[in-house]
């Protein structure tokens, strides 16, 4: 089964389990790193931090379900964690949740000699990210952007 399909099927398997516990799936990926394969799930909840107990619970449930269905034909490591403070924003719902927050944007090509911007997220609409950088409004097309993360502010 293709890597992307494995991630999609995993999302389907885990969705109801997460919903019942007030958790959500931030991201899911099946990747090869060196000789090893990893199935990674990043789980989240709206108003609190994810703890190790929740990660263990999700891991046990998912491990059992994947073994039952025998989806993955090769050896792999299952990792379940929080998306972290500097979580990557990839979906519309991620951007909607963090409107007004500081974000870091990495660009494919420099704008004004900068390939990285830090600013306040205003919106993501129709593939256009609106941010305020140094008091100036900016609009960037998603195809200009390599990566968007929450900025870690102390």
CA distance 5 to 28: 11
Query: Angle at Cα 143 formed by Cα 111 and Cα 99, nearest 5°?
Result: 85
Residue 66 burial (CB count, 10 A): 19
Whole-model pTM: value is 0.84
CATH architecture of 6-81: 2-Layer Sandwich (3.30)
For residue 143, the model assigns a pLDDT of 95
Whether the predicted pLDDT of 4 surpasses 90 = no
Please state which CATH number belongs to domain 92-150: 2.30.30.180
Whether the predicted pLDDT of 54 surpasses 80 = yes
SS3 6: helix
Per-residue pLDDT tens digits for 116-137: 999 999 999 999 999 999 999 9
Whether the predicted pLDDT of 3 surpasses 90 = no
Domain boundaries, the chain: 6-81, 92-150
């Amino acid at each position: 089964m293709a890597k992307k399909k494995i991630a999609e099927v995993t999302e389907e398997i885990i969705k109801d389990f997460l919903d019942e516990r007030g958790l959500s799936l931030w991201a899911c990926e099946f990747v090869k790193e060196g000789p090893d394969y990893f199935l990674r799930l990043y789980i989240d909840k709206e108003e609190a931090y994810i703890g190790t107990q929740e990660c263990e619970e999700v891991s046990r449930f998912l491990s059992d379900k994947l073994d039952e269905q025998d989806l993955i034909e090769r050896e792999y490591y299952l990792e379940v964690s929080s998306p972290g403070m500097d979580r990557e924003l990839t979906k519309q719902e991620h951007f909607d949740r963090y409107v007004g927050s500081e974000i870091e944007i990495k660009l494919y090509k420099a704008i004004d000699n900068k390939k990285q911007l830090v600013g306040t997220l205003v919106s993501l609409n129709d593939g256009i990210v609106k941010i305020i950088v140094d008091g100036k409004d900016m609009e960037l097309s998603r195809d200009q952007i390599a990566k968007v993360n929450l900025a870690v502010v102390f």
